[in-house]
Amino acid sequence: MSEAKRRKFAERLARKELISAPGVYDLISVKIADRMGFDVLYMTGYGVVASHLGLPDAGLATYSDMVSRVAQMAAMSQTPLVADGDTGYGGLLNVQHTVRGYEQAGAVAIQLEDQEFPKKCGHMLGRRVVPVEDMVAKIRVAVDSRGDRNFKIIARTDARTTLGLDEALRRAEAYLNAGADLLFIESPESVEEMRRIGRTFDVPLIANMVEGGRTPVLDAASLQEIGYRLAIFPALGFLAAGAALEAAYAGLKAKGSSTALGVRLYPFKDFSELMGFGWVAEFDEKYRGADARKS
């Protein structure tokens, strides 16, 4: 199944048409997104750390925390899953271990970034990057460590915010030469900067569309025209869920009951079906129901 997903993702990338990928951060978001017909899902580090640990995306999650989420998400969805691998969780040996672990867990691609440890969310200030030579070595290790060439290596640079776009472009070129399959130049701050990135590289580029972040959120046609191949929307799901939960819980606090909240709720029957209770009923009927009829 994982090999088929990786092949599917590779073939979709080769079509050179924009792929829009929703951010998934827990198993409920995975199950909902998986039914929508997306070509790719994106496991957001920010969202996973928030939902799993209740902490900021600031280098606090470990490899074990994250690879277990990759395995669960990949197993519970038919859609190819691109997964955030932060800095690789350590040095070069850690990168090798992380790439092999993410591939075995079922991801179709891993995203590695050039931040110093501890890393921070890519739309926060104060991010520092490692020497370019250190990240080049990480990318070379990542490329050599994968077992399937269709398992894609995404090289992300966070240099733009602190060191400027010229340095970010220089780093992206170095990572491409080291063997990266996709380039992710994080947080350009204007449409013109995004266009410059698109003019510089003729390889698959990633646009990080964070609502309220440092980069303009553009429509699909504009992103494709600029030259982006994959647009990720990592925060969309948890921002929508957070707003819905706040409204629902505020209504409950104000009224003391869920009657007349004025908040759209997922029908309980449909949600139970989404979680697999229909299959549980069929299982019980097949095994317990047969015994009951005999007695």
At 243 the pLDDT is 96
- Whole-angstrom distance, CA of residue 252 vs CA of residue 233: 30
Domain assignment present for residue 30? The answer is yes
Q: What is the pLDDT of residue 58?
A: 83
pLDDT given for residue 291 in this prediction: 58
Which SS3 state, helix, strand or coil, does residue 252 take?
A: helix
Please give the pLDDT value at position 125.
64
Question: Which pair of tokens denotes residue 256?
Answer: 């003391």
Q: How far apart are CA 279 and CA 275, in angstroms?
A: 9
Domain co-membership, 206 together with 99: yes
Q: Give me the pLDDT at residue 111, please.
A: 97
The whole-angstrom separation of Cα 155 and Cα 6 is 18
Q: Do 287 and 181 belong together in one domain?
A: no
Q: Would residue 160 count as lying in a domain?
A: yes
Co-location of 234 and 287 in the same domain: no
Residues 211 and 291 in one domain: no
Q: Structural domain tally of the chain?
A: 2
Q: What amino acid is encoded at 262 in this protein?
A: G
Domain match, 269 and 171 both: no
Same domain, 22 and 161: yes
Residues 119 and 215 in one domain: yes
Examine the domain organization and report whether 191 and 274 are in the same domain. no
Within-domain flag for 61? yes
**Does a structural domain hold residue 93?**
yes
At 17 the pLDDT is: 93
Element (H, E) at 27: helix 27-34
What's the start-to-end Cα distance of the chain, in Å? 42
> Which token pair is 137?
């070595």
d(CA 50, CA 231): 22
What CATH number should be reported for the domain holding residue 129?
Answer: 3.20.20.60
Is residue 179 located within the same domain as residue 290?
Answer: no
**Is 13:204 a contact under the CB 8 Å cutoff?**
yes
Would 247 be classed as within a structural domain? no
Q: Which domain holds residue 90?
A: 2-241
Domain-located, residue 180: yes
Residues 205 and 93 in one domain: yes
In this structure, what are the phi and psi dihedrals at residue 151, rounded to the nearest 5 degrees?
-80, 110
Model-wide pTM > 0.85: yes
Establish if 42 belongs to a structural domain.
yes
Query: Can you point out the beta strands (E) in 123-275?
Result: 152-157, 182-185, 206-208, 230-233
What pLDDT sits at residue 284?
A: 87
Q: Is the domain of 224 the same as that of 98?
A: yes
In this structure, the answer to whether residues 7 and 114 fall within a common structural domain is yes
User: What pLDDT is stored for residue 261 in this prediction?
Assistant: 87
Does a structural domain hold residue 260? Answer: no
Alpha-carbon distance 38 to 128, whole Å?
A: 34
Element (H, E) at 65: helix 63-75
Q: What is the pLDDT of residue 285?
A: 85
Q: Are 74 and 49 in contact (CB under 8 A)?
A: no
Place of tokens 């951010």: 23
| Closest to 81 (Cα-Cα) out of 48, 54, 56 | 48
Mean pLDDT, 10 residues at a time, over the chain (295 residues)?
93 94 98 97 96 88 94 97 95 97 98 83 71 97 97 96 96 98 96 97 96 95 97 97 95 92 91 91 82 54
